[in-house]
Each structure stands twice: as structure tokens, then as C-alpha cells.
Amino acid sequence: MKIIMLGAPGAGKGTQAKMLADQYGIPHISTGDIFRANIKAGTELGTKAKTYMDQGLLVPDELVCDLVVDRVQQEDCAKGYILDGFPRTIPQAEALDQALEALGQKIDYAVNVEVPDANIVKRMGGRRACVNCGGTYHVEYLPTKVEGICDRCGGELILRDDDKPETVQKRLNVYHAQTQPLIDYYTAKGALVEVDGTQDIQKVFDDIVEILSK
């Protein structure tokens, strides 16, 4: 089973990807993990990627696709895999499809974890991080015993810049501009499935498994 996870930043697609990987005994593959593994191993592809990253540049689509295709040919992917964070654009999706076709493979499902922007802004805006130990909390879903104080070390809790509503909304706008075409792309291929990501984590997972079992 070859799955792509789609969903806005903060929609919880990474959590669902990990749970699905455990459920089906297949690897959860994120582009960040692939970059780190190749750079650490000093592979040719990793060295190329590092030259871009060291300059603060985006790694070109073609190279990212090469890294992903190299990863999915490894032994642990024989039964399938879950791609998280790739593809992000239509050119990446097309390059991936062409490369998989050459291997006699195709994507079976593109799972879109659908959460309205307002929910994500509220979810992210409620997160708090400890300035000392890095512990993370949420004012609504995982509050501390004493407001503004870390349970673990007593450090001060802050709202990180990344989690401020205006920052989150900017990231969502970029996501929608890039990814809405992907949703249309996988819908046209008959591979898109959508789940309501506003539900409890376990309920979202159960819904995905039910769809994949049909």
C-alpha cells in the first residue's frame, strides 16, 4: 500500500502517518528524514542536497524526487510506504508518478486530512513552549498546573513566533496555493480520499483505516 499524506501544517497528518505506519507495518517517510539520512551517510545525493541547504536554498524538485525514489526502493518498502511532506507541488507529483511508473509502481491513496484554517490557527495559537527545557503544552488541550509555568522544570512558557496566528495564516496561505492543485490532481487520478481532521485523533485514524480497508 503506497500512501501520500496531504494536510495543512497543524492538521495532524504527521501523527496519522506514524499511526498508519505502525498499523500496516510500512515505513513513514518524510523528506526531512531522507535528507538527514543521506547527508549523514555521505551519499552522492545527500552531498548534492547539502550544497543547496548550506546556502539556504530550496533543494530542486528533481533532486528531492531522486532522493524519495531511492528511498522507496529500499527493502523495508517492499510492502508499501507512507510519504509525508512530498510531493508538495504538481511538478513534484508528476515527477514522482513518472519515476514510480518506471519501477512498475503507483500511488494507491492520497489521504487528505481536512481541517478548516480557523481550527488550525486556534490549535497552533494555543501551543506554549518552555524556554528552558523545550517542553510543549496547549492552553486548552494540555494545560500546565500553573498557568505560564512549565510542569517539568518551572521555566517560563512562551508562544513561539511560528505559532502566532499571523504566522500560521501565512503558512496556510502558502499551503493552499501549492497544495490545492495537488488535491485536484489526485482526485482526477481517483486516488484522493478525505477525512475530517477536526475529530479526535483516534477517530480520524479509524476513519482512514476504514477507507483503506474498502
- Distance between CA atoms of 211 and 61, rounded to whole angstroms? 31
Exactly one of 36, 152, 160, 170 is catalytic; which is it?
160
Cell numbers that stand for 35 in this block: 535528507
> Is 160 assigned a catalytic role?
yes
Candidate list 2, 13, 71, 128, residue with the active-site label? 13
Provide φ and ψ at 196, rounded to 5°: -80, 105
Contact 26, 82 (CB under 8 A): yes
Active-site annotation holds for 127: yes
**3-state SS class at 85:** coil
Of the residues 48, 122, 164, 171, only one is catalytic, namely 171
Q: Which residue in 18, 50, 88, 164 is the catalytic one?
A: 88
Residue pointed to by grid coordinates 505560564: 148
71 carries an active-site annotation: no
Look up 88 and say whether it is catalytic.
Answer: yes
The catalytic position among 2, 71, 127, 128 is 127
* 152 is known as an active-site residue: no
Q: CA 203, CA 196: separation in Å to the nearest integer?
A: 9
Residues identified as active-site: 13, 88, 127, 160, 171
